[in-house]
Amino acid sequence: MKILVTGFGPFDKFRSNPAEVLAEYLSGEFEEVEHAVLPVVYGDARDALLQELERRGPDTLVSFGLNGTIGHINLEEIALNIRSSEVPDNSGRKLDDSPVVTGGELALRSTLSLWDIRDRLRGEGIPARSSYSAGVYLCNEVFYTGAAWAQREGKKAGFIHIPMATEMIAGSPEMYRTPHMPIETIKKAGRIVIEEVLKSIR
């Protein structure tokens, strides 16, 4: 039984990424978890994920990404076969209505037990909600790639957005009104996610 957890490195205005910290942390907390950090570059993120899935052969994929506009955990329900953003990736590239997979289905759903995860998070004092749009940036590219893999292989995969860590903005008073969450709470949320995933696949 193996879970692959992915995160991203820094991008855009964010000099650190709690998704990277969380992925590395969870691989140290659970013997069933391995982690990978994906590049914030269109196409490269997809290719790197597919390589990791092939090399590691997990039963479940759990991907995390940063959403700098939320102060809660977003459990993403739907991945779209669309890549489009006014924000460039780390190579400076922008895409406008480009498919993740040419000829692929327009939308795919998460196969994680998201409602169980949501209820557990809320029950332990962590705000969480279902989300029906993961955007159309790199997070969605990874989400769609993982969902297509899960459908093809009969496995489970999903994507979860996390907020900025409080520690990320401590030195920037102008950002204090921006939503955020302490890194220890984000780590606790990650542990709960993995515990619920393990329950569902055992």
Q: Which residues are catalytic?
A: 76, 139, 161
Residue spans of beta strands (DSSP E) within the chain: 3-8, 33-38, 60-66, 73-76, 78-80, 107-109, 128-131, 156-162
Cα–Cα distance for residue pair 66/51, rounded to 1 Å: 22
Interhelix angle 44-56/138-153, rounded to 10 degrees, is: 30
Pairing mode of beta strands 156-162, 73-76: antiparallel
Residue 85 near residue 94, CB atoms below 8 Å: yes
Cα–Cα distance for residue pair 163/9, rounded to 1 Å: 14
Cα–Cα distance for residue pair 150/146, rounded to 1 Å: 6
Residue 183 near residue 169, CB atoms below 8 Å: no
